[in-house]
Structure 1
Amino acid sequence: MNRQVPDIDFMYSWQRPSDLRRLAVRAQSRMSNEAFLSKGGSREQKIQEALVGATFLCVFQRIVSPVMGRMAKINEEALDMEATGLEGTSYPFEITTAYPPDYRIRERYKNGNQPEIPRSAFTGEPKPAEWIASTIINKTVKIRGKGMRRHLIVYDNIAGGTTDLWRLPSLLEDAAVEWDSIWLITGVPDIGWVALVSGIGRLKSSMPHEKASPILHPLFWSYRIDGAGLRIFEQPNRG
């Protein structure tokens, strides 16, 4: 296996989400888990962000608006990915990952280790909404006061079932107002779910099938991406 960090310049050009995802998956497949998850630097992190971001955009463009996407360059402050709609709407994104408390992913994959799959992954134990909320609040602290409007994608990398999505918005304190929208995604890059936690008011005009519908948070979609393309199995939950 080639353990060198693949060239990532291709990520900085505008392209279809499916193409960006395919290239990110290919780049990740050329690296060992230790190199990718334990020893990784800024370039490895950018590939991780591309896997999450491009997978998310594949779903986003189906439920919000067709888009082209690109990864932001490493030195662009508080910006991980951009998308642009056909009508010219810009969607700047920040991407972060939620882990269980005190989880250290670099330590888990150090020296070629392969962590055991936790029991909760098989039992489907619900994940505390507080763990997700803490990740969102911590990320919000880093951008507060900088005058930047972003959409936030949280990759839920916590083993188990779903979390209490209906309770999550109430745990965010004032963090939700700092973002144009907040999203969760699991199962990157193949099969999982996407949830819109906050921000429907800023996105509703771009969602043709939602314009006339009163909507409550959260909205939830399950997805699968394979050789047949993207399939969405569930429609948004409505209040």
Structure 2
Amino acid sequence: GSVQRLDFGGQSSRDEAPSAPDPQWQPLTSLPAPDTHRTLPAGVILDEPASLATLKDLRPLGQIHESFILAAGRDGLWIIDQHVAHERVLFERLLKEMLSGRVERQQLLLPHIIEISPSQQVEYARIEGELRRSGFETELFGNRTIAVQAAPAGVGHADVEKLIYEILEISERELRRVSLDDLRRGIAASVACRAAIKVNTRLDAAKIEWLLAALAETECPMSCPHGRPVALRYSMREILKAFHRI
């Protein structure tokens, strides 16, 4: 059907092509802009690589589509993927807990029964100890079946089966080519990804502040365990240049 277009004069018309802008409202590109710029506030950084020092000073502004955190810093504007940021925090925390033997776990109300293939049963026998160190409590339950009684804290019940399959796949695909430390990192990365805050999740101000502070305390805050970037940063120089202020 036809589309009704409303103009700012209060009249409406149907199926009319938009008129060209009045020339009087076009920018005067031939004239120099008057110098009305004030000096930037003290402490503003025009150019500096993203670092832990600037990350610790971020001031949360809110969320974009309940998926990305918008924050301001002395060095510019930051957009942070909340899932990937939380994944990095959980990954490093879990690795430290695995090394100390103190992984926080949650008991399942009912054991989660998972069917496995013969090759997966072989891999399970090899890595059962690593699963236990990662926060799982499992045991063979009949022929080619695993009963999961506990899982790392934060992992949803619906993710337990997917997570076990992912870990068995990592073991089957990589065990003969990587070290035991790399296998542990792979397990920790899978657990962290499943347990991390998801996109389309509303976070209150306190939760955002906690996440940014926790991210700043990590050893490698700019990427997740799988290599995805945690944040985008627009430096003050980029912002000023875009607005023709420098």
Normalising by structure 1, we get a TM-score of 0.23
Larger Rg: 2
**Bigger relative contact order (CA 8 A; separation at least 6):** 2
- Please report the TM-score for the alignment, with normalisation by the length of structure 2: 0.23
